Amino acid sequence: MRFEFYNPTRLIFGAGSLAQLGKAARPYGKKALLVIGRGSIKRSGAFDRAVSALEEAGISIVEFSGIEPNPRLSTAMRAAELARKESCDMVIGMGGGSVMDASKIIAALVFYEGNPKDMFMRAGKIARPPERALPIITVPTLAATGSEMNCGAVITFDDEKLKTFVRAEVLYPRVAVADPELTLTVPRDHTAYGISDMLAHVAESYLNAIEGTPIQDRFAEGVMLTILEWGPRVVENGNDLEARTQIQWASIVAWNGWVQVGTEHMLPVHMIEHVLSGLYDIPHGAGLAALLPAWMRFAARFRPQRFAQFAQRVFGLSANGEDKMSLAMKGIEKYEEFLRSIGCPTRLSELGIGKITEEMLFHWAEESLKVNCDAEGRLPGRPPLRKEDIIEVLRMAL
Amino acid sequence: MRFEFYNPTRLIFGAGSLAQLGKAARPYGKKALLVIGRGSIKRSGAFDRAVSALEEAGISIVEFSGIEPNPRLSTAMRAAELARKESCDMVIGMGGGSVMDASKIIAALVFYEGNPKDMFMRAGKIARPPERALPIITVPTLAATGSEMNCGAVITFDDEKLKTFVRAEVLYPRVAVADPELTLTVPRDHTAYGISDMLAHVAESYLNAIEGTPIQDRFAEGVMLTILEWGPRVVENGNDLEARTQIQWASIVAWNGWVQVGTEHMLPVHMIEHVLSGLYDIPHGAGLAALLPAWMRFAARFRPQRFAQFAQRVFGLSANGEDKMSLAMKGIEKYEEFLRSIGCPTRLSELGIGKITEEMLFHWAEESLKVNCDAEGRLPGRPPLRKEDIIEVLRMAL
């Protein structure tokens, strides 16, 4: 176990914490680019409360609205142009994962010279990582991606329809203000997709981790157990603030690095899913729910012991006499059942992208290798996936 | 659940990571005060390797050796004077918890004006927390306190024999270089005391936490399970690098805030133990081992459900039909058995402080309230402890 860990984001968490946004932002300047999506936070009143908190702290606001659910590079570039023109001191992203990711990218684009696409992963590497960014502050309104407390961001190159990502230390938010009250108005379906997303962050990294990290295994299992317990409650009653709180906290630790540190995890299913949400604009969490069980059934053949541990520790299945493989399969069944029980699709045919042909599977497999691949042209994972393997996984998910 | 979390320490972890010390320190200047204990790292050769790594990075060294096992304020003041005189840019603490804690305090004392004692906890508050410190780098040589990745430090006022502490954001190390190879030479008894210390950090905070933090409960249980599994291996064979690695990682997460975040935990037993190690210079981990089982038996009466959960989840005891209280007691028995199995004392009479009189118990109880107490003069904890309660706990530990 060898690693470097660094996460300097200050997290202000809890119901009512939005009121602290002004105080939290004050050390970073006097003028903020406030980045939002398509206006739902204006209808809920959260936007006005954020603006008041900032103005009371003497921070003036330049608004940029209209970040798409799968944010586009061209949109981020327009926002960065505005931040430059207005000489903003910081970027505040208030919204879901898309808005927070776009805000990070905007903060870096303000200083980035040359081709903006060089900032992102392509063919297994980032040509020129960003080295500077405006201070970033995140205010999540959805419990899902955990973007509020990590240094990653996903973007779609609109001209190529390529969905890719960046990870860089300069993209750590200085502060994340996570107020579960802001998530009370998230509709049932997107609440469920958020749960699918956070659960996938933990499950996929856990099942693609090295052996020999017992603490991180326990952490991952603990987060999954908590999501399995509290997820259904928040889907059933979106007004349950206690459930919203537990689930939002789960979404943050699912992807702030604490669970994965030292595990050398990989995320092949995320890479495949990005192709789908990049091409068809489906919610990331829905796409993950449709793909992950199929990938699990494929990958369990290679690591039955790890999947058996997953079945036992996360779903409480008992080994008694059963062989690893059948135990593994039962755990996967339980995972899929859970996703269905909260209303997630678990098949590609349920994603509303029409008739799916063999040619489409072939194309998706090729596209997924454009972002990340190893020296042998395979998608990194345990096991690494050749193009044929990806097609097989996709076929299993039909 | 409401909290603020912030831990900006960069952790470089793993066997061989000492070689990265120079690169890690370079951003913070050209001259370091290198603080060490009483020389065991010189005999092992680790000191020379650290010095080489620093010199290769162009960093010159001012050595300060002789930090005591329970470090004294007067010693830290002398070291701070040296750092000022030599215009050091940073403080590097290479040693156990005592050396790292002293280094943090030295780094703050360099800038602190007025009475240095005002920087520390007394009667439940810190009069004037430090607001500035030289950059701090920690290089642990013992897996125990977790001081390498947190912002706390313990010190003894030598004139009063009062052992107290400080916690302040400026005391977060910029970098912690944690190389398990440096712990290979720790003798068996101190290895065991370190295990007692890290386990106590998790167990005591878990048993003094609020309800309603399911993820943190699971994290705590996961760290304790890992310590129970790997602790005996490292005591049995100190040369087992894999076991040293797992145990050192456990010691760091036990006390870097990840396990306790949001739990509003308290540490009454730590406060009582500090009196003993302050007065009699016994190892902190040994003192904790002697006190914690007694406190557990006292406190379980007030929270049988929590102690029963501890018994079930950490020691795998089965509830079947048993009442909470007897389950709780069995878990405590297991905890004590574990400590004995690795060679820790679990009674005050085993600490080598001679005959213990009622007057001494009375005096210790009074002393423990000098550092921390609530408005009603009780030691904060769940439950809060009146002086009579502390005496009862001490009597139970005889």
Assign A308 a pLDDT band (cuts: 50, 70, 90): very high
Average pLDDT over residues B203-217: 97
Percent of chain A topping pLDDT 90: 96
Please indicate, yes or no, if residue A2 is contained in any of the structural domains. no
Please indicate, yes or no, if residue A200 is contained in any of the structural domains. yes
| CB A65, CB A39: distance < 8 Å | yes
Residues B173 and B311 reside in one and the same domain = no
ipTM score over 0.85, yes or no = yes
CATH assignment at residue B164: 3.40.50.1970
Residue in B with minimal Cα distance to A9: B6
The pLDDT value recorded for residue B27 is 97
Assign A148 a pLDDT band (cuts: 50, 70, 90): very high
Q: Taking Cα atoms as reference points, which of B145, B85, B276, B31 lies closest to residue B77?
A: B85
Assign B108 a pLDDT band (cuts: 50, 70, 90): very high
| Residue given tokens 């926002």 in the structure block | A79
Q: Taking Cα atoms as reference points, which of B25, B59, B276 lies closest to residue B139?
A: B25
B214 touches chain A (CB under 8 A): yes
Q: What is the mean pLDDT of chain A?
A: 96
- CA A57 to chain CA centroid, Å, is 31
**CB-CB under 8 Å, B13 with A2:** yes
Residues A291 and A164 reside in one and the same domain = no
Identify all chain A residues contacting B7, using CB atoms and an 8 Å cutoff: 7-8
**CB-CB under 8 Å, A262 with B258:** no
What is the C-alpha to C-alpha distance for residues B331 and B340, in angstroms, rounded to an integer?
A: 14
Residues A164 and A223 reside in one and the same domain = no
| CB A106, CB A76: distance < 8 Å | yes
| Residue given tokens 């809890």 in the structure block | A14
pLDDT digits (tens, 9 = 90+) for B66-106: 999 989 999 999 999 999 999 999 999 999 999 999 999 99
Please indicate, yes or no, if residue B281 is contained in any of the structural domains. yes
Identify all chain A residues contacting B253, using CB atoms and an 8 Å cutoff: 215
Identify all chain B residues contacting A251, using CB atoms and an 8 Å cutoff: none
Residues B179 and B196 reside in one and the same domain = no
Q: With 90 as the cut, is the pLDDT of residue A281 above it? A: no
Identify all chain A residues contacting B225, using CB atoms and an 8 Å cutoff: 214, 218
Residues A268 and A322 reside in one and the same domain = yes
pLDDT digits (tens, 9 = 90+) for A77-93: 999 999 999 999 999 99
Residues B142 and B225 reside in one and the same domain = no
Instruction: Give Cα separations from B185 to A125, B43, B98 (angstroms).
Output: 41, 10, 17
Q: With 90 as the cut, is the pLDDT of residue A324 above it? A: yes
**β-sheet with B60-64: strand ranges across:** A3-5, B10-13, B175-178, B136-140, B90-95, B31-35, B60-64
Q: Taking Cα atoms as reference points, which of B366, B352, B354 lies closest to residue B394?
A: B366
Q: With 90 as the cut, is the pLDDT of residue B322 above it? A: no
Out of B4, B13, B222, whose CB is closest to A222?
B222
Identify all chain A residues contacting B4, using CB atoms and an 8 Å cutoff: 10-13
Please indicate, yes or no, if residue A4 is contained in any of the structural domains. no
Out of B2, B5, B219, whose CB is closest to A222?
B219
A362 touches chain B (CB under 8 A): no
- A230: its two tokens: 């509290």
The pLDDT value recorded for residue B320 is 82
pLDDT digits (tens, 9 = 90+) for B37-74: 998 899 889 999 999 999 999 999 999 999 999 899 99
Residues A255 and A235 reside in one and the same domain = yes
CA dihedral A221, A227, A229, A230 (to 10 degrees): 150
The pLDDT value recorded for residue A320 is 82
Average pLDDT over residues B124-151: 97
Instruction: Give Cα separations from A278 to A36, A273, B146 (angstroms).
Output: 20, 8, 44
Amino acid A212 reads: G
Residue in B with minimal Cα distance to A10: B6
E strand residue ranges, B123-170: 125-126, 136-140, 152-157, 162-167
- A200: its two tokens: 């996938």
Residues facing residue A385 across a β-bridge: A379
**CB-CB under 8 Å, A214 with B218:** no
- A91: its two tokens: 């970027």
Identify all chain B residues contacting A233, using CB atoms and an 8 Å cutoff: none
The pLDDT value recorded for residue A398 is 95
Total number of domains constituting chain A = 2
Burial class of A258 by CB neighbour count within 10 A (0 to 12, 13 to 18, 19+): buried
Out of B1, B10, B258, whose CB is closest to A245?
B1
- A75: its two tokens: 């949109």
Residues B168 and B229 reside in one and the same domain = no
Residue in B with minimal Cα distance to A221: B218
pLDDT digits (tens, 9 = 90+) for A352-378: 999 999 999 999 999 999 999 999 999
**CB-CB under 8 Å, A219 with B221:** no
Q: With 90 as the cut, is the pLDDT of residue A40 above it? A: no
The pLDDT value recorded for residue A44 is 87
pTM higher than 0.95: yes
Q: With 90 as the cut, is the pLDDT of residue A24 above it? A: yes
**CB-CB under 8 Å, A215 with B253:** yes
**CB-CB under 8 Å, B242 with A212:** yes
* Domain boundary pick from A160, A183, A206: A183
Please indicate, yes or no, if residue B201 is contained in any of the structural domains. yes
Please indicate, yes or no, if residue A1 is contained in any of the structural domains. no
The pLDDT value recorded for residue A231 is 98
The pLDDT value recorded for residue B39 is 83
**CB-CB under 8 Å, A4 with B12:** yes
B389 touches chain A (CB under 8 A): no
pLDDT digits (tens, 9 = 90+) for A200-254: 999 999 999 999 999 999 999 999 999 999 999 999 999 999 999 999 999 999 9
- CA B112 to chain CA centroid, Å, is 24
What is the C-alpha to C-alpha distance for residues A28 and A236, in angstroms, rounded to an integer?
A: 40
Residue in A with minimal Cα distance to B249: A215
**CB-CB under 8 Å, A4 with B13:** yes
**CB-CB under 8 Å, B17 with A5:** no
* Domain boundary pick from A183, A205, A232: A183
Please indicate, yes or no, if residue B299 is contained in any of the structural domains. yes
Residues A294 and A391 reside in one and the same domain = yes
The pLDDT value recorded for residue A1 is 92
Amino acid A371 reads: V
| CB B107, CB B138: distance < 8 Å | no
Assign A322 a pLDDT band (cuts: 50, 70, 90): confident
Average pLDDT over residues B12-36: 98
**CB-CB under 8 Å, A14 with B2:** yes
Task: Kindly give the pairing relationship between strand B152-157 and strand B162-167.
Answer: antiparallel
- B162: its two tokens: 């009062």
Please indicate, yes or no, if residue B255 is contained in any of the structural domains. yes
Largest CA distance in chain A: 68
Residues A116 and A147 reside in one and the same domain = yes
* Domain boundary pick from A151, A167, A183: A183
Residues B251 and B370 reside in one and the same domain = yes
Residues B355 and B262 reside in one and the same domain = yes
Residue B141 three-state SS: coil
- A128: its two tokens: 């020129």
| Residue range(s) defining the domain that contains residue B379 | 188-396
Out of B3, B5, B218, whose CB is closest to A226?
B218
CA distance A335 to chain B (A): 19
CATH assignment at residue B361: 1.20.1090.10
- The count of C-alpha atoms lying within 13 angstroms of the C-alpha of B116, restricted to the half-sphere facing its C-beta, is 22
CA distance B262 to chain A (A): 9
